[in-house]
Amino acid sequence: MSNNLEYDFYYWGPYLVKFKIKENERLKLLEVGRKTTEDFRHQLAGIIKDEKLFDKDNTNWFMDYFSNYFRVYVEGLQKYNQQQLLKQITHLEIGKVWINYMKSNEFNPPHIHSGDLSFVMYLEIPEQLKEERKEYKGTSAGPGAIQFTYGEADPTNRPACFATHHAFLPEEGDFFIFPANLQHCVFPFKCNGTRTSVAGNIYYKLNDSIQKN
């Protein structure tokens, strides 16, 4: 049979992208996080005791500092998803940004965010967690995993030709950007140590003619 068959492949589902931030960016965020003091737990889904909201100045700084990542994401999204409305995005506006200090037995249940886009970047991963992952024998993504879920799994247990979830064991510097209404959760871990991450929400700003309609 000839291998020179022509075909079109149609992407389906949410546009999920993982970047790797630079070491100086990671260290700068840790420094900003240490100065952040406002408790933000009342606005979040996580079963986490230490979640702090960035103030306005640091929120604006964050958007300026990491703007190139979001620009690249939107450019890819516009190619991936040909909706006319997405082509009318003129710029992005930052919403809330917060830092999470996740410890043993804490977790984030399945949830979505407000806004149009959301993100999470991982700044610190305990060495003990890396060892705990190696020892894990179960069938889920494993201790400390983040899992994104879209659609429903096939209950017949047949080999599926579509994906309903993606799960990751984050490493330091991993930076995920995804649609704000993409359901996701974070699994707990048992070891000592703190896993530090920064998360937040982004809003699309469209051209004036679109926003007035």
**What's the pLDDT band for 146 if we cut at 50, 70, 90?**
very high
**What's the pLDDT band for 212 if we cut at 50, 70, 90?**
very low
- The pLDDT of residue 178 is 98
13 and 151 in contact (C-beta within 8 Å)? Answer: yes
Give the 3-state secondary structure of the chain.
CCCCCCCCCCCCCCCCEEEECCHHHHHHHHHHHHCCCEECHHHCCCECCCEEECCHHHHHHHHHHCHHHHHHHHHHHHHHCCCCHHHHEEEEEEEEEEEEEECCCCEEEEECCCCCEEEEEEEECCHHHHHHHHHCCCCCCCCCCEEEECCCCCCCCCCCCCCCEEEECCCCCEEEEEECCCEEEECCCCCCCCEEEEEEEEEEEECHHHHCC
- Flag whether pLDDT at 161 surpasses 90: no
- Flag whether pLDDT at 144 surpasses 50: yes
Give tens-digit pLDDT for 167-192: 999 999 999 999 999 999 999 999 99
Domain ranges of the chain: 17-206
- The pLDDT of residue 210 is 54
Q: Which CATH number fits domain 17-206: 3.30.70.860, 3.40.1010.10, 2.60.120.620, 3.40.50.1260?
A: 2.60.120.620
- The mean pLDDT value for 153-175 works out to 85
Could you give the CA distance from residue 15 to residue 24 in angstroms, rounded to a whole number? 27
Give tens-digit pLDDT for 96-142: 999 999 999 999 999 999 999 999 999 999 999 989 999 999 888 99
Give tens-digit pLDDT for 21-65: 999 999 999 999 999 999 999 999 999 999 999 999 999 999 999
pTM more than 0.85:
yes
- The mean pLDDT value for 75-93 works out to 92
- The pLDDT of residue 213 is 47
